[in-house]
Structure 1
Amino acid sequence: MKITKRNPLLSIVNDFLIDSPAAPNLTYFWSFGSLLGLNLVLMIITGILLAMHYVANTALAFDSVEHIMRDVNNGWMLRFFHANGASMFFTLVYIHIARGLFYGSYRSPRALLWVIGVIIFITAFIGYVLPWGQMSLWVITNLLSAIPWVGQDLVELIWGGFSVDNATLNRFFSLHYLMPFILAALAMAHLIALHTHASNNPLGISSTSDRIRFHPYYTSKDLVGFFLFGIVISYFVFYNPNYLGHPDNYIPANSLVTPAHIVPEWYFLPFYAILRAIPDKLGGVLAMFGALVILIPLSFISTVNLRTLRFKPILHALFWIFVFNFFFLLWLGGKPIEEPFISLGQFSTVVYFSYFFLLMILG
């Protein structure tokens, strides 16, 4: 018997990465989960190394980032890998979720797998505050103040006072350092849930009779994805490191000077556009969080055997309308709060939520 089966620890690796039975028709779209795992490892390693030089103090945070960039050996590379790795993470997450929506991977018996994945997605939205530039400061919003009765108390609890200051930065740094390890634990739970019922497949019909070993058939596909991911992120790190960021974040945070146009990072923009589309503050906050949470009920609505949208022409067309609308919301999120962008944002918000309701009814 092979050592990978005899050894208690190696047997776990064997069950998950070598002898794990998989459908024979999985495409490269099923490699994005492993790419996200690689990206998470990259973020944790670079984050730990950056934290050794970062100072969570409003008077020193910006200078400590510049110290990393200019004085620490290869500090610029660590920071750019970490910053662009965040953009890569959300790019991969959006593709991963889109694949799950198209092929019905959210349906029973993979409900737990889908819910854990959505929780990972929601908890990943943190960390932009730490460079303490202008956008880092002004993107901190008091969204919780919209909650009736206790909202202002919650805001002051998070701020650590009556305004954004040193205590706020320390809280965000502590959470940001802790969050990747929570994400890693959730990723392990996600992986366990995946291997409980195995992956879905492009045909959308589950079968336990036609299976192949994960290694070498899909490890080779994953390695191709790792290679391409390395090329893409290396381009941004070495040739265009600030393309996905905002130039105002190279200006030290100043609470007395409001930027001309406050926008979050690009991967927040679709949900930022939904937030701005609702005139009422509480309604906007609920709509923004609802746009994320609405992914969870999908896994409990439909239990039909045929999961993929490939054989459902109406839903197939609606899916691509939804994808276009998502990119449209991303574009709208970076535009000024004025007409016609306000009306377009409201229309796109209705389209966004309508798709999920139609998916629950027709799917």
Structure 2
Amino acid sequence: MSEGHSTYTPTTGLGRWFDARMPLPRLVYDSFIAYPVPRNLNYMWTFGGILSIMLVSQIVTGIVLAMHYASDTGIAFSSVEKIMRDVNSGWLLRYMHANGASFFFIAVYLHIMRGLYYGSYKAPRELLWILGCIIYLLMMATGFMGYVLPWGQMSFWGATVITGFFTAIPVVGNWIQELLLGGFAVDNPTLNRFFALHYLLPFMIAGVVVLHVWALHVTGQNNPTGIEVKSKTDTVAFTPYATIKDALGMIVFLIFFAYFIFYMPNYLGHPDNYIQADPLKTPAHIVPEWYFLPFYAILRAITFNIGPIDSKLGGVLAMFGAIAVLFVVPWLDTSKVRSAVYRPWYRLFFWIFLVDCIFLGWLGSRPAEGSYVIMAQIATLYYFAFFIVIMPVLGLIETPRRLPNSITEAVLEKNKAGGAVHPEGAAASPEIRG
């Protein structure tokens, strides 16, 4: 899909002069206008564009908020209140940024699940997938550090608890914790470091996104059938076909985003984080932001020693392992068929996995006691089993459905089954529609 010569032709003298010296318009034209995309892309493919919009929104609002924020433990909480009350449109900027983080993660989770469902991690797109995982890891680091900046109760104690888990790592654990905190406890150096890194990391994310898009344009986009493009009839131009679909998806997504900003701005936040941090008063139940809850549940699910590994270190390894396993997914899935559309057993286990992730998120918000711990252990077991056992074994024993010969054939079959109008002008019969 990335082969072929550019069809861009400058129409003015200035355009030809500019194109001969720095062909930026040609790059834009070839990448976002004439670029061929599979003709069967559905609305799950709009989340790449949505994530780009959310990243720009987070960077722009973050830069403006940084102009008014004070990274000092004595006045950080007050500076946030001042932004809300005294800065022109400060309340809007803060709500856009805070809720934008949540919607950024909503979009990225849907993007990841789409990749797992349609096999977008398989060759030749392994590097594309790994770059996406790096973006996700950077997002998690950025989100965690941003959560500390308002200097509320949950900010302080969340940072205290999470950084404390690094001490479980032998030899270097205490050094890592002190490096993060800038001392021996969460204090002013911690806030300064987290603010600096929170400001820097989004630009690193933007840099990796450029590499991610570059890798995408080299290998071409995957599609719901998982079949590679075989002819020009399998593709359409990115503009207007994909851009119109992306625009509609973005508008719907931004409507939900706007609803939360204007009508439910504090719904996704924790009530305790609207209380100034107090090192002498511990909240009844310390939890991170909702998008970290599944991994928090996995962390707390390890309540037993595993040989020489104690429960604390085991929990830390399980939490980081839950993220690390995503990097090796391209080599864990042994099936030669990409899309779950043609893999009935994988599709079943995938939907169970999706429910399991949501369940882990709920368990992460519950106290680590009683039946919640047992349920978290079972859910954690299935999480890892899906990648380490189910993916490799299913690829060897599952019999997939027949694949279409081409993307065009799959589109025509879908249109026929859906009762599309025939060339003769008559609609398909009820038997065909059924």
Asked if the contact 2:77/2:152 (under 8 Å) is kept, the reply is yes
User: Match of 1:212, SS?
Assistant: strand
CA distance in 2, matches of 1:360, 1:81: 42
CA distance in 1, matches of 2:334, 2:376: 33
Matching residue of 1:329: 360
CA distance in 2, matches of 1:306, 1:22: 20
Report the TM-score when normalising by structure 2: 0.82
Match of 1:25 among 30, 37, 40: 40
Q: RMSD of aligned C-alpha atoms?
A: 1.3
CA distance in 2, matches of 1:361, 1:294: 16
Asked if the contact 1:107/1:303 (under 8 Å) is kept, the reply is no
Matching residue of 2:29: 14
Matching residue of 1:46: 61
Q: Is 1:359 the equivalent of 2:391?
A: yes
User: Match of 1:124, SS?
Assistant: helix
CA distance in 2, matches of 1:304, 1:361: 9
Matches within 5 A, 1:158-237: 158-209=180-231, 210-237=234-261
Matching residue of 1:2: 9
In percent, how many aligned pairs have the same letter?
Answer: 54
Q: Is 1:262 the equivalent of 2:281?
A: no
1:232-269 per-position Cα deviation (integer Å, ceiling 9, x unaligned): 11101100100000010010001110001111111100
Give 1:143 shift.
2.0
Asked if the contact 1:107/1:299 (under 8 Å) is kept, the reply is yes
Q: Rg: which structure is higher?
A: 2
User: Match of 2:82, SS?
Assistant: helix
CA distance in 1, matches of 2:99, 2:229: 39
CA distance in 2, matches of 1:67, 1:131: 12
User: Match of 1:109, SS?
Assistant: coil
1:309-329 per-position Cα deviation (integer Å, ceiling 9, x unaligned): 111111110000001111100
> How many residue pairs are counted as aligned between the two chains?
363
Give 1:281 shift.
0.8
User: Match of 2:373, SS?
Assistant: helix
Give 1:291 shift.
0.6
CA distance in 2, matches of 1:264, 1:345: 16
CA distance in 2, matches of 1:16, 1:293: 31
Q: Is 1:79 the equivalent of 2:111?
A: no
1:71-116 per-position Cα deviation (integer Å, ceiling 9, x unaligned): 0000000000000000001100110000000000001100010000
Match of 1:296 among 317, 327, 331: 327
Asked if the contact 2:334/2:391 (under 8 Å) is kept, the reply is no
2:339 partner amino acid:
T
Higher relative contact order (CA 8 A, sep 6+): 1
1:265-300 per-position Cα deviation (integer Å, ceiling 9, x unaligned): 111000000000012111101101111110111123
CA distance in 2, matches of 1:37, 1:43: 10
Asked if the contact 1:108/1:303 (under 8 Å) is kept, the reply is no
CA distance in 2, matches of 1:122, 1:311: 31
CA distance in 1, matches of 2:314, 2:336: 37
CA distance in 2, matches of 1:147, 1:304: 36
Asked if the contact 2:334/2:392 (under 8 Å) is kept, the reply is no
Structure 1: runs of 5+ lacking an equivalent: none
